[in-house]
Structure 1
Amino acid sequence: MHVFTILVLLAFLMLWSRRRLSSSATLLGFALLSCIALVDLSLLWPNDAVNPLLAVQFALLGLSALVLALAAGPMQVKWVYRGVLFGASASSLAAVLQQFRIVKSELWLDSSGLARPTGLVGEPDWAGFFAACAILLLIRGVMRKGSLWWLLLAVNSGAVVFCLARASWLAMTISFCVLVIAKMTRRRSAYPLIVGRQLVLMGSLVLALVLVVDATFREVVQNRILSIFSPEHRDLNAVYRQQQLDGLWTLVRSAPWHGLGLSSSARVSSTGIIGVDGSNSVATNWVLGLLADAGVLAWPLFVVLVVIALRRVQSVGAQLFVMVAVNSLFSNLLFSPVMWLAIAFALSNDGSESAPGALVSGSRFKISEERYVAK
């Protein structure tokens, strides 16, 4: 059982009160569990699964999301967000110290020959992603702006750049674009973003400092950004990623209507070769991975997840889910707790949409948890 599930069940026992989800949210929650069960059914047919026990983990993560949505009110959600913020910031600080060799740690040497810090998570792409999550939470007002706010923003901004995680750059950009479009097309006002001239100036200074310090690093960052849009600038790592996607697409086209069984997509190697067995249990791309694993059985899950994201598209939980989903197109986090944490708070009401400022501590924005009912 995943540690995340154990912690969520303990939190459920401690936090459960008279709060309840609305009928629509409850219906979506149980629809989500039903769709996960449908994906797990892909193992009933003859399959090529690498790790059949992944179906159990999948079901427990979905159950954890529903339980967390049922148990946590806006005040609990605020502290969970802050826990994610400070945990990610600790990893980002470690990554920055590793980059400047202040902390003795071997840098990650990827297939393109780039030496990248790993923070506390042991993988530069994930370290960069969690730093991006911290930036999102800071900009969305999880804590009040002050000296600590600026310090955390600087540390996480540095980690996002130093980790050279292209997927996190793209995911964070798309998540804010979706939020801006939602704010422009909906009358309801979400919690305002903490943006302004100071923030833009701070970001520009951090980026300029990072790029001016080392000309070689500046060229690397430039090529990493251009490689997202132009095949001409792709490094070896991007080429391998494209080969993985090609291999997954081949697997999707060759799979029967019910798929090849959950975790079978992990047979695609890092160079796109479809082998007999895989060293991992999940594919690099969560959408193609599920289509190869479960075929038609995965489509209801996609629909429910889109509905959950659009239902409260301006909330912090929904924006975090969009960012995780986009990042998982390149570095799969479908079976990571952060994905289901975001789904849980997108499913419930985290207070960031209906009560402006509810995520920021202070008596002015205090919400009575006993009277709280998610809308």
Structure 2
Amino acid sequence: MKILIITRTNWNEPPRIRHQLCNMLLKRGHKVVFLEKPTNKLLSPLRLQTVSENLTLGVYPELLHHQLKFFGLFQYLNAKFVMVKLKSFLNKNKFDLIFNFNYDYSYITSCIDADKFVTIINDDFIAQAKPWMRRAIREQMVMTCKVSSSVLSVSYPLKKLVDSYCDNSFLFLPWCDDKYEQPTKSKVRNVVLYYGFINNRLDWQIVKGLLDKDITIRFVGPINEEDAKNQVNSLSNNYDNFEYISPRCLSKLDLEDVCCSIAPYDISIESIKACTVSNRAFRLLAKGIPVIYPNLPHILEAPVEAISTASKLSEYIENITFYKCNFYNCQPIIKDFLPAHYSSARYQQLMNVVSSIV
């Protein structure tokens, strides 16, 4: 199939679910055009770059940043501007499927077969918005969901939200691209890993509390906020048991001393509460690394040997101690849990959803 993926994400960013989706489709022989984060060069046309036989990247400008379209007039002008950039391309190229990650792109259906337009809601855009933008974002998201043939949501609360807009919504959790690998047996597994984006959505008090209890923590990932960079620098300077490693693939990391991973999100942030499972969790589990989350209200149901929760510092310590002592005993349970979340299972789910439109 020939497939278009519409995003606001650059291809060379650390992998997120849109990259995962693209790679999953490429591995199965589909041809994909991946539209990246729009540029601010307003005079630029749509620029296409061939990466491989089956992958083409595209970049085009938007008139306004999506968080600045306060009023209907701004939304109208931006839509007209984007369609000038994309209309010719969309008219000349007929796609079997369009996967849209942009909550505000309902207008794109004027130039495509709307029956093939599938929207993926991968974040709580309304909760993340500035207070003065929430109504506008909600209205645009509702319209985009209503004109989509199907809407896929990456968590239970997001699906519940979409269900209130339309009756064609489906749960579409993240997945792991690799199958389970038995971890190498090592003498000591005493390192706690954080693998992912490092920003102010983390509960730094929990991280510091663990370090104060002499727990060794290793952070790996991109730092995309200045305050978070200052936090990491401070931890590096003040704790010998803290280590920061720049972004890299899990396959390039030495995991032989890791007992578990933490996802210490700050649950006072409203958008965090919409999380069911993070995009990285299944990849960590595929390496045999259990994951500890905060006590999220909609966390994925899973055996404690694979995913556990903690509502306070003492519970994080208790769970970490459990994984240190039972790491290898947890492996058979993790191995049995994962197949339902392999790429092959999620691809089959995706094909079941879109089978009526392709």
| TM-score (structure 1 length as normaliser) | 0.25
**Higher-helix-fraction structure:** 1
Point out which structure has higher relative CO (alpha carbons under 8 A, 6+ apart). 1
Question: TM-score, structure 2 length as denominator?
Answer: 0.25
